[in-house]
Amino acid sequence: MIEYIKGALTDLTPALAVVEAVGVGYALNISLSTYTKIQGQKEVKLYVHEQLTTGGRDDSFTLYGFATKQERSLYRMLISVSGIGANTARMMLSSLTPAELCNAIANGDDKLIKGVKGIGLKTAQRVILDLKDKIVSTGIADELHVSESHNAGPQVNTAVKDEAVSALTMLGFSPAPSAKVVVEILTEHPDMQVEMVVKEALKRIK
């Protein structure tokens, strides 16, 4: 079982990080929260959640990486809830910071959780019901100290659009509608960073 991977960050998008350790490049699915934390770093340490999917012709082995143990713990709690799969949990941690999501669960704010793409009212209420006591008992709410960075990028170009659309595609959205929403956002906010573009797009894509 892999606890964490520490090494050179060789490639990074809002949805995927490649970390080279001892000559091996590990591709890890990440959330926007982790992306924001490790952006610009040359060396990173990502806490790992391993997922083995069996059935059908091929088994798949997927690695998820998290900048903090707290985010990984919250992710594991989320996927323990009925109706919340790996991609939905990552979507939740991309739409809200770990602190925002943790506070929403602890305070019973189903409206905020329902605002995440793909989450209905019943699922939001189930998340709160299943995890509220766990959030309090494990102390994650007290441990989380997330400070959001809003450093405006100096340029807006095709690279920003392409990276945002790529991230949305990896999260399960179709490229064409994703591109339309991304262009709309960049037209309104020319200096918005790619992770913020993706976060805003998650709210707008229908």
pTM: 0.72
pLDDT, tens digit, 9 for 90 and up, residues 68-94: 998 999 999 999 999 999 999 999 999
Tell me the per-residue pLDDT of 112-128, one tens digit each, with 9 for 90 and over. Answer: 999 998 899 999 999 99
Sheet strands (E) in the chain: 4-12, 16-21, 24-29, 43-53, 60-66
Residue 140's pLDDT is what? 72
Which whole-number Å values give the CA distances from 65 to 17, 77, 141, 172, in the listed order?
Answer: 8, 15, 20, 18
